[in-house]
Amino acid sequence: MTTPAEPRREQRLVFGEVADVYDRQRPSYPSTLVDAVLSFAGLGQSTTTAVAEVGAGTGKASVLFAARDLRLTCVEPSSAMAAVALRNLAPYKNVEVVQTSFEDWQPRPHTYGLLYAAQSWHWVAPQARCTKAFDVLGQEGTLALFWNVLVTRGSDSLERDLEVAYGDLLSDRMRRSHPTERPDANNWVIDEIGASGLFGPVTQVREPWQAIYDTDDWLELISTQSDHRMLDEDTRAGLFDRIRTAVDRNGGQVEVDYLTVAYLAQARDPAGREDHR
C-alpha cells in the first residue's frame, strides 16, 4: 500500500501555520513611517481615496493605516492569517479583508490612490509585481513598499554564539544578516521599479527603533520566519534548543536594533502604460 505524499507546503503561506504566534510576536511599524507614506501619497486623515494593502498578514500594518480612518482593502492569501486580520480590524469602519493572492485579485483598474506592502512584496511573483501595481493605481497613485530590517541583535558575543548554534543551517540567511548589508537588504526594488518604466523615481524613508525580546519571545518570533518554518520538526527543535542556550548564556535577552525602510514611487499616467511594458 502506498502512503499518500504530504501536500507540498508553499513557503509564502507557511506563516498561516502559526498565525496567532505571528500576530503576537511579529513587530509593528513606526507611526512616523505611516505619516511619511501618507504624506508622500498626498493623503490626509479620513480620506475618501481608496487604499489597498498587499499581503496584509494578521494586520500588523493594516491597523495603523485603518486607524487613520482610511478606506482600506487588505489582500491576504492565507485564510488563517486573514481570519486574524479580520479580528484585529473589526473595530475599524471602511476596511475589508479579501482572502486571495495579489496575483489573483481582480479590482477595478486604476482606482487606488495608494498601494502598500509591509514585509510582503518579495512574496509576489516577480513578473507580476510592478505591472499589477501599476494597473491597480490611479494616475499619480503611490506604491509604498516597506520592511523591518534587523540591523543588530545584541552583543558580538551573542552573534558569535548564534552563528555556532545555526552551524550549516540557514547559511544564506546568516550571510545576508551581516550588519553592513542589512539596511540595504531590499534595495533591489529600486532597480526593479526603475526598470519597469511605470513609476517615477524611488524615494527612501528610514525609521530606526529598538525592541527587546526575552528567550521565549525570541524563539516564538523566529518560529514565524518562513525559512525556520520550512525546516523539518526535528531539525527545528534541535536548532531552537541551541539558540535557547546561546541566548540564555548571553543574559537571556536579545536587544534588537531595527530599521524600517520604505521605498515610495509615484505611478506614471495610466494612459501611457502600453509604452512602458
Nearest to 267 by CA among 204, 206, 196, 205: 196
> Helix crossing, 233-249 with 156-166: angle to 10°?
160
SS3 30: coil
- Indicate if the alpha-carbon torsion angle 250, 251, 252, 256 is positive or negative: negative
Q: Rounded to two decimals, what is the model's pTM?
A: 0.90
* Domains along the chain with CATH numbers: 11-151+179-210+258-269 (3.40.50.150)
Give the cell for residue 258: 531595527
Question: Which helix (DSSP H) or strand (DSSP E) does residue 258 occupy?
Answer: strand 253-266
**Of the candidate ranges 151-155, 183-187, 225-229, 267-271, the one whose mean pLDDT is the lowest:** 267-271
227-246, pLDDT tens digit by residue?
899 888 999 999 999 999 99
Band (pLDDT 50/70/90 cuts) for residue 271 is low
- Give the 3-state secondary structure of residue 226: helix
Q: How far apart are CA 250 and CA 232, in angstroms?
A: 27
- What order do you get walking across the sheet with 71-76 strand by strand? 95-99, 71-76, 50-54, 112-118, 137-153, 253-266, 203-214
Confidence bin at 183 (pLDDT 50/70/90): confident
Q: Is the pLDDT of residue 247 over 90?
A: yes
Length reported for the chain: 277
Report the pLDDT value the prediction gives residue 275, as an integer from 0 to 100: 44
| pLDDT confidence tier of residue 42, bands split at 50, 70 and 90 | very high
CB-based contact 153:27 (threshold 8 Å): no
Comparing 35-49, 53-67, 178-192, 249-263, which segment has the lowest mean pLDDT? 178-192
Helix 129-136 with 188-196: angle, nearest 10 deg: 60
Structure-block grid coordinates of residue 115: 498601494
